[in-house]
Structure 1
Amino acid sequence: MSKNGQKKKQKGDHPYLAGNFAPATTTCPPKPVKFSGVIPKELHGGMYVRNGGNPISNSDLGREVHWFDGDGMLTGVWFDRSSPQFVNQFVLTDLCLSSFENEQLRTPILPSIATLVSPFSSLVAIIWSILRASMLVLLSHLPGSQYAIKRISVANTGFLYHDGRALATCESGPPIRVQLPGLETVGWFDGNRAEGEPVSIEQSDAGPGFGGTGLNSWMREWTTGHPKVDPTTGEMMLFHCNFLPPFVHYSVIPRQKAVSNVLGPEPRKLINVPVPKCSGGKMMHDFGASKHHTVILDLPLSLSPFNLLKNQPVVAYEPKKPSRFGVFPRRDPSAVRWFETNGCCIFHTANTWDEYDSDNNISAVGMLACRLTSASLVFSAGNITPPPHPSKMENGERRPMSFFAKYDEDDQFIDPENIPPDEKTALLKTDSLCSRNSPPSPPISEDDHEQCRLYHYRFPLSPETCNTITDQYALSPIPFEFPTVAPAHDMSFARYVYGCSTSNASFGAALGKATKIDVIVKMDVHILLARARNNPPQNITGCVDSRSIQAILSSRDPADPIQAFKLPPWHYAQEARFVARQPQASEDDGYLLFYAFDESQLDEHGECREDARSELWVLDARDMQTVVCRVRLPTRVPYGLHGNWFSEEQIRSQRAVESVRKMPERRNRTVWGKARGMIMKALG
Structure 2
Amino acid sequence: MVVAGQKRKRGGSDNILPTPQPRHPYLTGNFAPIEKTIPLTPCTYVGTIPEELADGEYVRNGSNPVSNSDLGRDAHWFDGDGMLAGVLFRKDDTTGSIRPEFVNQYILTDVYLSSIGSKRLKVPILPSIATLVNPLSSFFWVTLRILRTILLVILSHLPGSKQKIKKISGANTNIVYHDGRALALCESGPPLRIQLPGLETVGWYDGAAAEGEPGNAQSTENERVLGEGSGLISFMREWTTAHPKLDPKSKEMLMFHASFAPPYVQYSIVPQSKTTDQAGAPMQKVLNAAVPGVRGARMMHDFGVSSSHTIIMDLPLSLDPLLQLQGKPPVSYDSSKPSRFGVFPRREPEKATWFETDACCIFHTANSWDVVDASGNTTAVNMLACRLTSATMIFATGNIAPPAPPKKTSTDALPKKRMSFFSKYNLDTEASVYERHGRVESTEEEKEALLHVTFSEVSSLENDNSDEEDHFDEDQCRLYYYHFDLSTSQITHQWALASIPFEFPSVHPDLEMSEAKYVYGCSTSTTSFGSALGKATKIDILVKVDVTTLIARGRANPPRSVSGVVDPRPMADVITSNDPADPIRVFQMPDGWFAQEPRFVPAATKRSEDDGFLLFYAFDEAQLTLTGDAPLDEGEARARSELWVVDARDMRTVMAQVRLPQRVPYGLHGGWFTGEQVRGQRSVERVRSVEKVLEEKQGGVWMGIRDSIEKFLA
Question: TM-score, normalised to structure 2's length?
Answer: 0.88
Choose from 580, 583, 587 the match for 2:605.
583
How many angstroms apart in 2 are the aligned matches of 1:520 and 1:24?
25
Q: Quick check: 337-346 or 602-611, which moved more?
A: 602-611
The Cα shift of 1:358 comes to 3.1
2:82 paired with 1:57: no
Aligned partner letter, 1:623: D
Contact 1:171 1:224 in 2 (8 A): yes
SS in 2 for 1:521: strand
**Count of residues paired in the alignment:** 652
State the partner residue of 1:530. Answer: 552
- 1:6: which partner in 2? none
Per the alignment, residue 479 of structure 2 pairs with 454
1:347 corresponding residue in structure 2: 363
Q: Contact 2:420–2:528 (CA<8 Å) still a contact in 1?
A: no
Compared CA separation, residues 577 and 284, structure 1 to 2 (3 A): same
Instruction: Give per-residue Cα distances to partners, 1:305-342, cap 9 Å, x unaligned.
Output: 11011110000001100000000111010010000000
Contact 1:597 1:615 in 2 (8 A): yes
> What's the secondary structure of 1:197's corresponding residue?
coil
Partner Cα distance (2:532, 2:309) in 1: 32
Partner amino acid for 1:567?
M
Structure 1 residues 208 and 39: CA distance shift in structure 2, 3 A: closer
Q: Secondary structure at the match of 1:334?
A: helix
CA RMSD of aligned residues (A): 2.3
Task: Please give the alpha-carbon distance, in whole angstroms, between the structure 2 residues aligned to 1:306 and 1:456.
Answer: 34
Amino acid in structure 1 at the alignment position of 2:345: P
Q: CA deviation at 1:448?
A: 1.0
Distance 1:509 1:244 in 2: 33
Equivalent position to 2:85, from 68, 75, 80? 75
Segment of structure 1 superposing worse, 440-449 or 529-538: 440-449
Task: State the distance in 1 between where 2:535 and 2:648 align.
Answer: 26
Q: CA deviation at 1:181?
A: 0.3
| Per-residue Cα deviation, 1:498-526 (whole angstroms, up to 9, x for no partner) | 00000001204579954610000000011
Shift of 1:596: 0.4
Q: Contact 2:450–2:533 (CA<8 Å) still a contact in 1?
A: no
- Note closer, same or farther for the CA distance 1:424–1:70 as it changes in structure 2 (3 Å cut): closer
Counterpart for residue 241 of structure 2: 224
Q: 1:308 aligns with which of 321, 324, 330?
A: 324
Alignment pair present for 1:133 and 2:149: yes
1:546 and 1:39 map into 2 onto residues whose CA distance is 37
Summarize the Cα distance change of 1:331–1:512 in structure 2 as closer, same or farther, 3 Å threshold: farther
Q: After alignment, is 92-101 or 215-224 more displaced?
A: 215-224
Check whether the contact 1:89–1:184 (CA below 8 A) recurs between aligned residues.
yes
Please state if 1:631 is matched with 2:658: yes
1:123: Cα distance to partner? 1.0
Between the aligned residues of both structures, percent identity stands at: 55
Task: Choose from 599, 614, 632 the match for 2:641.
Answer: 614
Within a 5 Å distance, the mapping from 1:245-324 to structure 2 comes to: 245-260=262-277, 264-324=280-340
Instruction: Please say if residues 191 and 210 of structure 1, whose CA atoms lie closer than 8 Å, have aligned partners that are also in contact.
Output: no
Distance 1:603 1:111, change over 3 A: same
List runs of 5+ in structure 2 lacking aligned partners: 1-19, 93-98, 422-426, 454-470, 633-637
* Equivalent residue, structure 2, for 1:399: none
Q: Which among 546, 569, 583 is matched to residue 547 of structure 1?
A: 569
CA separation of 1:175 and 1:384: change in aligned 2, threshold 3 A: same
Q: 1:528 to 1:515 in 2, by over 3 A?
A: same
Residue 515 to residue 305, structure 1, CA distance change in 2 (3 Å): closer
Write the letter of the residue equivalent to 1:448. Answer: F
What code does the residue aligned with 1:256 have?
Answer: S
Q: 1:213 aligns with which of 221, 224, 230?
A: 230
Within 2, Cα distance between the matches of 1:444 and 1:254? Answer: 50
Structure 1: 5+ residue runs without aligned partners?
1-9, 394-406, 418-422
1:462-473 aligned within 5 A? 462=487, 465=488, 467-473=489-495
The residue that corresponds to 2:466 in the other structure is none
1:497 aligns with 2:519: yes
Q: Which amino acid aligns with 1:179?
A: Q
Q: 1:161 aligns with which of 177, 180, 184?
A: 177
Q: For residue 177 of structure 2, what is the amino acid of its counterpart?
A: Y
Partners in 1 of 2:452 and 2:382 — Cα distance? Answer: 31
Find 1:665's aligned residue among 694, 697, 701.
694
| Further displaced range: 366-375 or 444-453 | 444-453
Q: Say if 1:370 and 1:454, in contact at 8 Å, map to a contact too.
A: yes
> What CA distance in whole angstroms lies between the structure 1 residues aligned with 2:533 and 2:593?
15
Given candidates 595, 600, 603, the residue that maps to 2:622 is 600
Q: 2:429 aligns with which of 425, 428, 450?
A: 425
- Cα distance in 2 for residues equivalent to 1:518 and 1:436: 20
Counterpart mapping for 1:37-56 below 5 A: 37-56=47-66
User: Is the partner of 2:490 in helix, strand or coil?
Assistant: coil
Task: State the 1:263 CA deviation.
Answer: 7.0
Q: Which residue of 2 aligns with 1:403?
A: none
